[in-house]
Structure 1
Amino acid sequence: MQEAFPKVPQVEFTTDVFGFYASVSAVYSSKIKGGEIEFDSYLKHKFHQVSYRPDYTKKTNDLFAAYAFALNTPLQPHVLKAHAILSEHMLAASGRGRIRTKIEMILDKEGRIEYVAAPPAIVEGGMKKLLSDVNLLLKGTIIILLNARFCPFDICY
């Protein structure tokens, strides 16, 4: 892998490419929190200035804005600011930009549980671990293993 990885062609990361992939991520992330916007509608809204009801686009726009913020801002000291941006129309002001301390789940229209978030007791530690891992990735000190015993995306230090 260490020999093959440098040979992978690099894709130019333009503003349009970022906008497209950030839109994909924003739409599907907003669906986790109950957003109803469809991907094609959001693309029309974002790139062709098609207008929709504000409540139809605002959660997804917040996520897109948070991704744009994160693209140009160091993650370590600003992760809670990014959270405040992405949660502007999802959470009460008291929950924005703060580490969650309550149980969180998503219910479908019939009241069945679709998603249960990590227990509050492990969220802060998980965030610290995530930020530490991102820092190691940025420094290039994580080795990605390709081995029969591991999934190709498992990582170790």
Structure 2
Amino acid sequence: MKKLLKKDLFASYLSMLDVDLAEAFSTLKQREWSAANFKFATAVSVMSSSRIEGETLEVDSYVKHKVLDIEYLPNLTEKPNDLYAAYEFARDNRLNLPNFYQAHSIATKHLLPEHLRGKVRTGNMLIMEQQTQSIRYEAASSYLVKAEFERFWKEVETLLAEPLKTEEVFYYASFIHLVFVKIHPINDGNGRTARLLEKWFLSSHLGQNAWYISSELFYYNQLNDYYNNLARIGLFYEELRYEKALPFLLMLPKAMEIHQKSNTNN
């Protein structure tokens, strides 16, 4: 059986990189690890990810909420605060399947009933475009989803145990994000959980300063490209063409390029 997390595109990926990922990440490693820095970076990441899912509070307002204790109506902060708590849990716990399920349960406290949190779905799933309600793509069908997710997770565990070069870490983090979204294994919260999983994988290999990467903000700022690059590999799960995945896989390095330029300018 062919792998879900393929290395087939890695050589092309390397040839198309516009940034030295090891050098770019080294600038983030120089940033002091502190509770305040984590709070600020994670508030930006969490609200950016939440905005992708249709939450309405502005990113800077949520940063004020977390950093300065500015109060907003509960309906504006409950779901982002749940996701923030999931990021804190991921920061403090090893990436494995039980902890992943726990992180999903935390992230969806105000999104799903308790019996659906941290559970693989049993029904079919269509992913809709929020504004037009048109179909973006069809996730793994109900008869495939459990087996596909188990296969996916075994491959993730293998990658977690392997010594990977920095470029490989970024490549596979993006691929994990992409394949998870395409399987769409949970009843809801798949997008925000996929972006958390990407960051969790990065930190597992590169260390705690990976939590400072503003990948979620980059995806939010490039939202049309984010959705188009997710969609370009196919509409139906069993007909996906991962050979078309490079535009999506190269988005995370572009977020690192912005980090590098920001540090150079400062």
What TM-score do you get using the length of structure 2 for normalisation?
Answer: 0.46
1:61 deviates by: 0.3
Stretches of 4+ moved more than 6 A in 1?
none
Is the 8 Å Cα contact of residues 83 and 96 (structure 1) preserved in structure 2? yes
Greater fraction of residues in strand = 1
Counterpart amino acid of residue 51 in structure 1: E
Report the identity percentage.
29
Counterpart amino acid of residue 64 in structure 2: K
Q: 1:94 to 1:34 in 2, by over 3 A?
A: farther
Aligned twin of 1:148:
none
1:16 deviates by: 2.1
Aligned twin of 2:52:
32
Aligned twin of 1:92:
113
Q: 1:51 to 1:72 in 2, by over 3 A?
A: same
* Structure with more relative contact order (C-alpha pairs < 8 Å, separation 6 or more): 2
Is the 8 Å Cα contact of residues 27 and 60 (structure 1) preserved in structure 2? yes
Is the 8 Å Cα contact of residues 136 and 142 (structure 1) preserved in structure 2? no
Give the distance between the partners of 2:133 and 2:161, measured in 1 at CA: 40
Secondary structure of the 1:144 match is helix
Partner of residue 130 from structure 2, selected from 102, 108, 111 = 108
**Which residues in structure 2 correspond to 1:1-157 (within 5 Å)?**
5=22, 8-9=26-27, 10-11=29-30, 12-76=32-96, 77-102=98-123, 103-109=125-131, 111-113=132-134, 116=137, 118-120=139-141, 121-122=144-145, 125-126=148-149, 128-130=151-153, 132-133=155-156, 136-137=159-160, 139-141=162-164, 144=167
Give the distance between the partners of 2:135 and 2:84, measured in 1 at CA: 24
Q: Which runs of 5+ in 1 are unaligned?
A: 146-150
How many residue pairs end up in the alignment?
A: 148
Q: Name which of structure 1's ranges 60-69 and 27-36 shifts more when overlaid on structure 2.
A: 27-36
What TM-score do you get using the length of structure 1 for normalisation?
Answer: 0.72
Q: Which runs of 5+ in 2 are unaligned?
A: 1-13, 15-20, 169-245, 251-266
Counterpart amino acid of residue 119 in structure 2: R
**RMSD after superposition:** 3.5
Q: Name which of structure 1's ranges 48-57 and 27-36 shifts more when overlaid on structure 2.
A: 27-36
